[in-house]
Structure 1
Amino acid sequence: MRILDAAERVFAERGFDGASIRDIARAAGTQAGLVHHHGGGKEELFHQTVARRADELSGLRMDALAARKAGGDLTVHDVVECFIAPYITVAQTGGPQWLAYARLVAWVSADPRWRDIAAECFDPTARQFIAEIAVLRPGADPERIATGFVYSVAAMLAQLTSAWRIGALGDIEGDAPGGLDMLVRFCVAGIEAAVAD
């Protein structure tokens, strides 16, 4: 756990290429050999670090979606909120490691060499949410739905990792407030614009 927490922070800060096993060992307060022993090589450690929170996050999202479905008919707003709100909540209440994880996910999302990690850790859940949107927008081009969804994920990660930037541009002292409702409305509008003919 300590090694993966350290790896999460170091990879989030420096990316895969900028991080070293030695840096991770130093951050964990252990020897590099122990990091190699528990994590394998750097690439395997990166994979383990990304994967370890993915199931928990997926479970939170799927539980939110199931609860919303049990309440009646869904809207695109409901689907997007069920995807975004669990992560925003856990990032704001679950401690600094969840914010580091958001930065790590941003690295994975931005670099096609991590396609296999994204496919394993994030795509199954994303595909379920995209399918829910497709049901609500029959006849919409699946590529356009996926485009709007990926843009929404990028906006969510920006909210989590760049609140300071929003605050700076908005002349707000410190970080901007969470803004979950605004974020969801922004993403819904983007998806609706993407699927519009």
Structure 2
Amino acid sequence: MQTSQQSTKERILSAAEVLFARHGFDGASLRQLTAAAGVNLAAVNYHFGSKDRLVEEVFRRRLDELNSRRLKALARIAGHPETTLEDVLAAFIKPALELSHDGSGTLFMRVLARAFAEHDDTLRRFLSENYGHVMRQFTAEFARLLPHLSKEELYWRIDLVTGALTHAMSGFGMIQRKSDVTETMHREQTAAHLIRFSAAGLSHP
């Protein structure tokens, strides 16, 4: 019974991810969702209770693991005298790129991009309340390594780095993987370019 329930829940989440990426949060209807997932409305209500809660669970499914990886990577280097700006950026960027190239990860990145583009205050509050502590820990380490920057200037630069990462993760960019380049090689190239670019922008006088 538990396996069946889990399967139904995952099916709803996967269908929701596709529809949110394609139509946005307001544009994707529950009728479309139930048809795509092969369930009835009662199943959606049973597992999630409301559309807002469903949206939140779509994010939790991906972001809990992503930010756990990020924080573990950061914990290994935070506060050490030999830690470089590139080390911290790698802890922030590489787990995200691994997610974006993992099966439906690219699809989720488009959902994440929509969250920023659609200015949904409820969703933004959810993301801030549940994952804001991750960004605060990274910001503290960036601040330690970049003492010449004011708090406001640092926030501006981190926001731009995050935007560049979201763009790279979504697959919307001009640089597409060549046929003779593996997914792993392409991800490593993307990480190297993005870390180098971000380090230059963050450390600029």
Instruction: State TM-score, norm by structure 2.
Output: 0.81
5+ residue gaps, structure 1, are: none
Matched-pair contact (CA < 8 Å) for 2:97–2:169: yes
Shift of 1:164: 5.6
- Which residues of 2 match residues 40-55 of structure 1 at below 5 A? 40-55=49-64
What percent identity do the matched residue pairs reach?
A: 32
Query: Is the aligned partner of 1:141 residue 2:150?
Result: yes
CA distance in 2, matches of 1:54, 1:167: 24
Code of the aligned partner of 1:187: S
- Mark the CA change 1:80 to 1:166 in structure 2 (over 3 Å): closer, same or farther: same
Matched-pair contact (CA < 8 Å) for 1:7–1:49: yes
Code of the aligned partner of 1:36: N
Query: Is the aligned partner of 1:180 residue 2:187?
Result: no
Code of the aligned partner of 1:86: P
CA distance in 2, matches of 1:187, 1:167: 20
The count of corresponding residues between Structure 1 and Structure 2 is 189
Shift of 1:70: 8.9
Alignment match, 1:95? 103
Matched-pair contact (CA < 8 Å) for 2:100–2:170: no
Alignment match, 2:126? 117
Q: Return structure 1 stretches of 4+ with deviation > 6 angstroms.
A: 172-176
Query: Is the aligned partner of 1:153 residue 2:149?
Result: no
What secondary structure, in the 3-state scheme, does the structure 1 residue paired with 2:174 have?
helix
5+ residue gaps, structure 2, are: 1-9
Alignment match, 2:114? 107
- Mark the CA change 1:43 to 1:91 in structure 2 (over 3 Å): closer, same or farther: same
CA distance in 2, matches of 1:30, 1:128: 40
Matched-pair contact (CA < 8 Å) for 1:75–1:136: yes
CA distance in 1, matches of 2:64, 2:126: 13
Code of the aligned partner of 2:128: A
CA distance in 1, matches of 2:14, 2:81: 39
